[in-house]
Amino acid sequence: MNNQLIEFAIDGDIQLHQFSTAINDFKGLLEQLVVETVPEEKIVWRLADLQFSSAIMILEPQSPKTEATRVVIEAFEAVARFLTDNRNPFQFSAALKKQAQKLANFTRESGIEGMRFSVNQRDYILQPLDLSTPMPEIVVSWGTLKGRMQSISSRRQLRITVYDALFDKAVICYLTEDWRHKLPQLWDKDVIVSGKVTRRRDTGQPVSVRQITDIQPVADFQSGDYKQARGALVRVLGDENAEESIRRLRDA
C-alpha cells in the first residue's frame, strides 16, 4: 500500500445516519491532527477510493510539501496505535484525545463489529470495547483467502477486493504491478489468494492480504466429477452394493 494513504473501514451492519456520524468523527480527528502537527500547512484529504458495497474508504493527504503529509501520516498511526492498544502512551493534546475518544465511543455504542485503520502497510482494529480494556491482538500469518473477486483498483496502489466465502465481508488484497495483466481474467470469479493474511483474533475474520504470492481460480465442478475421486471404482455387474457390504460386515 502507498505509504501516503490511510484506509478507513467499518465492519458490521451500519445504518446511513450512523455512517454519517462515523465519517464526521473521523473527519474531526484528521482535522485536529493537522492543526497539532503541521499548523502552518494546508492539508487536503482526497478520497482515493471508495468501496460502494462496503464501508471502506481510502484517503490521501495532499500538500505542496511532501514532508507535511509524512508527518500527518505518522501522527495518525500513533493515534491508531493508542486506540487499538492503550498500552501506547497518548502523545498529543486533550483536544485530539477527545476526537479519538469519539470514534471509540461510536464503535462501542453503535452496535457495529469494529473499525479498521490501515496505514504504512499495517492494520489496526478498533473493537467495541472500553479504551481501558486491552484490545485483542490481530493475527498476521501466511495463509490463504477464498472468495469472489469483485473489484480491481490501480489508483496509487494495485489492489483487489475479494468477498470472503465464509464471512461474506470485503477483504482488500494488495498486489505488486506484476499482477496487473493477470487480474482481468479473474474478475468476478471465485479465487484463492495466497499471502500474508491479517485476521481478527476474536472471530478469525480476514481483513487484508499483503505480500501475495499466488492467486488461483477455484475450479468449476462439472456433473459427474465425483466419479474421478481417488478410490472410486466402476461397479461391475454382480458386485454387491454398498448397503449389502455394510450389512454383511455388521452381521459377521
pLDDT in tens, 90-114: 889 999 999 999 999 999 898 888 8
Expressed as residue numbers, the domain containing 180 is: 139-217
pLDDT band, residue 53 (cuts 50/70/90):
low
DSSP letter for 113, please: S
In a domain? residue 166: yes
Q: Are residues 100 and 48 in the same domain?
A: yes
In a domain? residue 212: yes
**3-class secondary structure for 10-68?**
EECCCCHHHHHHHHHHHHHHHHHHHHHHCCCCCCEEEEEEEECCCCEEEEEEECCCHHH
CATH of the domain at 143: 2.40.50.140
Q: What is the pLDDT of residue 45?
A: 93
Q: How far apart are alpha carbons 205 and 202 in whole angstroms?
A: 8
Q: Are residues 83 and 112 in the same domain?
A: yes
Q: Are residues 14 and 91 in the same domain?
A: yes
Number of domains the chain contains: 2
In a domain? residue 70: yes
In a domain? residue 236: no
Segment 83-96 mean pLDDT: 84
Q: Are residues 36 and 65 in the same domain?
A: yes
Q: Maximum CA pair distance of the chain?
A: 90
pLDDT in tens, 113-158: 889 999 988 999 888 876 666 666 788 999 999 999 988 888 778 9
Q: What is the pLDDT of residue 129?
A: 73
Q: Are residues 180 and 86 in the same domain?
A: no
Q: How far apart are alpha carbons 15 and 20 in whole angstroms?
A: 9
Q: Are residues 157 and 203 in the same domain?
A: yes
Segment 23-28 mean pLDDT: 94
Tell me which residue of 244, 248, 12, 33 sits closest to 128, measured CA to CA: 12
The side-by-side arrangement of strands in the sheet containing 56-62 is 44-51, 56-62, 6-11, 114-119, 122-126
